[in-house]
Structure 1
Amino acid sequence: MDQLTADSSYPPFFLTSRSHHNPTPKSTSLQPGSTLQVPLLDLQHLDPNLLSQSCQNLGLFRLTNHGVPPGLSARLFALASEILSRPFESKIAEFSDGAVKYFWGTPAVTLSVKEVNWLEGLHVSLGRLASAASESEFGDFRNLAVEYCEHMARISRTLFNTVANDLNLDAEQRAAYLSESNGMFRVYRYPICPNPSGYLGMEAHTDSSVLTILNEDDVGGLQVLHENAWFNVVPVPGTLIVNLGDLMQEDNVLRSSTYRQFTLKEFRAQVQEDITKTGSKVGLKQFKIEKPDLSQ
């Protein structure tokens, strides 16, 4: 019996599936050996011009001197790894509802997709995590997640305020973008795949958020589409990767010459509807003045 078959922590689908399928977009070229040079920003000495250039040119940058204690990240990594190594049935039973939910096959919790992503993880709602009911429910993991997400909120606010100054956003506009209670925290594990040519760890996508902050281990695997080609982003110990989400692609969330007016609540509802109907997130294209044809 091989390692994959013997691992009771894997979702059953991962233990039985051997089908071949390659959902890599046909219009792009995958270059496994190509590495993307990512701009490096120092959070303690943040250069507004470099931040603006990084957002406009690539929409991705590496952050150093960010103030997240290495010990905190290590403890959170270790505990999350232990939780995800538990038997599949145990994870389903323990994290089926509440502030922390277990998912597999897609980061869109409880929804099905047309292409199975070869991953599993924990989805944490920060708004629900802050409630008193979750204090005893999730124990050490909750405490570590709360402490870690406080750092993420600090970093997000610092970066966003700098960008907002550059965009001349007023207080009302800034408040419409960021709210810690609407934030989410996810932990991903990518199980061993017997058919790496047949599946993706995660399908090609954009993030629905304003900002996504990624804390990688030393294994890596992040790839970015740039100028119609896929590039590897090599992990650098002690740094964070910051990626601009869909909601940072406009000058204003509610008003735009490119997109019809919409709220954050409407955007998130549309994302869920897209995944339910099509199996993929259509994203901002749904809010363009001319909506995309989903029948093709």
Structure 2
Amino acid sequence: MITADAGYSNAHCAPKYDRKSELKAFDDTKAGVKGLVDAGITKIPRIFIHDQLKLSNSRSGDSEFIIPILDLDGVNKDAISRAKIVKQVQNACQNWGFFQIVNHGIPVSILDEMIDGVIGFHEQDTEVKKKFYTRDYQKRMVLYNTNFDFYVAPEANWRDTLSCVMAPNPPDPEELPEVCRDIIVDYAKKTTELALTLFELISEALGLNANRLKDMDCAEGLFLLGHYYPTCPEPELTMGTDSHADSSFLTVLLQDRLGGLQVLHENEWVNVTPIYGALVVNLGDMMQAS
């Protein structure tokens, strides 16, 4: 059982701290971080408290840099329009590795429904969610839990996640949560179409045939993550997502309406200001290595 003050009051005075037991106690509830909030905690468990030095070294994001915003309108209109967009993609990939895209072909209504669908999943009754709670990524294509690296990371992030492997072998629709089943299928289809276009543009930006990256099977897999960050009673002590690099070829990120994403550019943390209807594109480690 995890109490309202579990771990926090003993964080600085307990002679012995059994972190493993606290991790397991939390995990066994299968209620996630949202369960802590629903229980009305006022102090966060010690497993979620981040190193104060790391927190103090976090940047404010008040940099003068602005992440590139690319307009894909006209990408298939004519050679001149496409060449202009390819050049913008080249500059954004070389100098940033991140960029926002507008007029990408995915209706805003689908983006809104996807955000609402993820929220709907995480805010439904805990007993409904529990059947999806597991850490066995090998056997389950659809699952939810708190932090994929929960037992190995030095501190847990204040975040729950719904995970779905949508390609190359998508799950049976009945395996998807009913509350967001239809929109996940629609969003995955539209995102796959967009990813194919982006791989073409990146291939051309590299001076290669438009199908080069697709022929290398870079677009074969699709892993959907629906993160949820419940209101935290002590936000100054933890983080929803700490600094990291993505290992995939390409990440297409749909931000929530409040933002909060920052990108490290030339040793400065740059805020990614949400643009309604836009998506954020992130080149992953495997793409950079390729």
TM-score bracket for the superposition, by shorter chain length: 0.7 to 0.9
User: Residue 127 of structure 1 aligns to which amino acid in structure 2?
Assistant: A
Flag the 1:86–1:120 CA change in 2: closer, same or farther, 3 A: same
Match 1:130 to one of 170, 194, 201? 170
CA distance in 2, matches of 1:113, 1:189: 19
Moved over 6 A (4+): none
Larger Rg: 2
Partners in 1 of 2:201 and 2:219 — Cα distance?
16
1:85 maps to 2:139: no
* Alpha-carbon displacement from aligned partner over 1:71-128 (angstroms, at most 9, x marks no partner): 2222222222121012444322245473321011x245x7642220111120010137
Partner of 1:201: 240
The counterpart of 2:70, out of the listed 28, 35, 41, is 41
TM-score, scaled relative to structure 1: 0.71
Equivalent residue letter for 1:215: L
Maintained 8 Å contact 2:114/2:184: yes
Cα pair distance change 1:117/1:62, threshold 3 Å: same
Change beyond 3 A, Cα 1:169–1:128: closer
The aligned amino acid for 2:106 is: V
Question: Does structure 2 conserve the Cα–Cα contact (< 8 Å) formed by 1:99 and 1:128?
Answer: no
What residue number does 1:246 align with? 285
**Secondary structure of the structure 1 residue equivalent to 2:236:** coil
Q: 1:24 to 1:217 in 2, by over 3 A?
A: farther
Are 1:175 and 2:202 an aligned pair?
A: no
- Residue pairs, 1:91-110, within 5 angstroms: 91-96=129-134, 98-104=140-146, 106-108=147-149
Determine the C-alpha separation between the residues in 1 that align with 2:174 and 2:74. Answer: 39
Sequence identity of aligned pairs in percent?
29
- 2:96 paired residue number: 58
Q: 2:229 aligns with which of 173, 190, 194?
A: 190
Q: Which residue identity does 2:282 align to in structure 1?
A: N
Residue type at the aligned position of 1:199: T
Work out the CA distance in 2 between the residues paired with 1:24 and 1:183.
36
Q: Residues 11-50 of structure 1: CA distance to partner in whole angstroms, max 9, x if unpaired?
A: 5566462544336758965124446412111223341111
User: Unpaired runs of 5+ in structure 2?
Assistant: 6-30, 76-84
Asked if 2 retains the 8 angstrom alpha-carbon contact of 1:61 and 1:241, the reply is yes
Residues 35 and 234, structure 1, Cα contact 8 Å, conserved in 2: no
Q: 1:18 to 1:195 in 2, by over 3 A?
A: farther
Alpha-carbon distance change, 232 to 23 in structure 1, aligned in 2, over 3 angstroms: farther
What pairs with 1:1-296 in structure 2 (closer than 5 Å)? 10-11=33-34, 15=41, 17-19=44-46, 20-22=49-51, 25=54, 30-34=59-63, 36-46=65-75, 47-96=85-134, 98-104=140-146, 106-108=147-149, 112-127=152-167, 130-131=170-171, 134-138=172-176, 139=178, 141-169=180-208, 174-180=214-220, 182-250=221-289, 252=290
State the superposition RMSD in angstroms. 3.0
- Say whether the 8 Å CA contact 2:86–2:202 is kept in structure 1: yes
Preserved contact between residue 222 and residue 233 of structure 1 (Cα < 8 Å)? yes
Name the CA distance, whole Å, in 1 between partners of 2:194 and 2:113.
20
Distance 1:149 1:35, change over 3 A: farther
TM-score between the two structures when normalised by the length of structure 2: 0.72
Q: How many residues align?
A: 241
Distance 1:120-1:23 versus aligned 2 partners, 3 A rule: farther
State how far apart, in whole Å, the 1-side matches of 2:237 and 2:55 are. 15
Q: 1:121 to 1:185 in 2, by over 3 A?
A: same
Shift of 1:194: 1.8
C-alpha separation between the residues in 1 aligned to 2:229 and 2:73?
Answer: 33
- State the match for 1:275 in structure 2: none
Distance 1:24 1:158 in 2: 42
Counterpart contact for 1:28–1:230, Cα < 8 Å: no
Cα 1:211–1:27 change in 2 (3 A) is farther
| 8 A Cα contact 1:9 1:85, kept in partner | no
